[in-house]
């Protein structure tokens, strides 16, 4: 019985953490700044110093251009993690997703993020 209650509590907390994911500019304004917005796109700047970690947040379909690179740890709401080294000039495309990013490198990572206002319906994989 106790094991079942603990499992239910853990699943509830996971669902709540996903539902709490928000706009990166609202939950991590020290790292994200809106540069431009219209009815089709929003453009953000992200600056993540070494050792910094943003809050769990969500993006619609996005294209990310890395102005400066580094080593990142990306955590998904279910707890899955991946480490990714990005280089200056690299471009990444991703469908809508929720995640948290930590700079595990020694230099600031700067990116320009272009969010689409409507999903493209593509496969949802990192490219």
- Residue 16's pLDDT band (cuts 50, 70, 90): very low
| In-domain check, residue 121 | no
pLDDT (average), residues 36-64: 97
Number of structural domains, the chain? 1
| In-domain check, residue 11 | yes
Query: What radius of gyration, in Å, describes the C-alpha atoms of the chain?
Result: 16
Q: Using an 8 Å Cβ cutoff, are 102 and 81 in contact? A: no
What is the residue-averaged pLDDT of the chain? 85
Which range of residues forms the domain containing residue 71? 2-116
Structure tokens at 24: 């990166």
pLDDT (average), residues 19-46: 93
| In-domain check, residue 97 | yes
- Residue 118's pLDDT band (cuts 50, 70, 90): confident
| In-domain check, residue 30 | yes
Q: What is the enclosing helix (H) or strand (E) of 8?
A: helix 2-19
| In-domain check, residue 124 | no
| In-domain check, residue 50 | yes
pTM of the model: 0.77
pLDDT above 90: residue 39: yes
| In-domain check, residue 81 | yes
Residues 51-85: tens digit of each pLDDT: 999 999 999 999 999 999 999 999 999 999 999 99
- Residue 20's pLDDT band (cuts 50, 70, 90): low
Residue 109's CATH number: 2.60.120.10
Q: Parallel, antiparallel, or unpaired for β 97-103 and 70-75?
A: antiparallel
| In-domain check, residue 127 | no
């Amino acid at each position: 019985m106790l094991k079942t209650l603990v499992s239910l509590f853990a699943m509830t907390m996971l669902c709540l953490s996903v539902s709490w994911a928000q706009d990166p500019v609202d939950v991590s304004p020290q790292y994200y700044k809106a540069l431009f917005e219209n009815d089709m796109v929003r453009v953000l700047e992200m600056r993540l110093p070494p050792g910094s970690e943003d809050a769990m947040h969500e993006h619609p379909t996005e294209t990310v251009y890395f102005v400066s690179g580094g080593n990142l740890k990306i955590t998904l709401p279910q707890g899955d993690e991946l480490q990714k080294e990005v280089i200056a000039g690299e471009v990444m495309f991703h469908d809508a997703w929720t995640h948290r990013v930590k700079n595990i490198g020694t230099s600031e990572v700067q990116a320009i993020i272009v969010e689409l206002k409507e999903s493209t319906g593509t496969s949802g994989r990192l490219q």
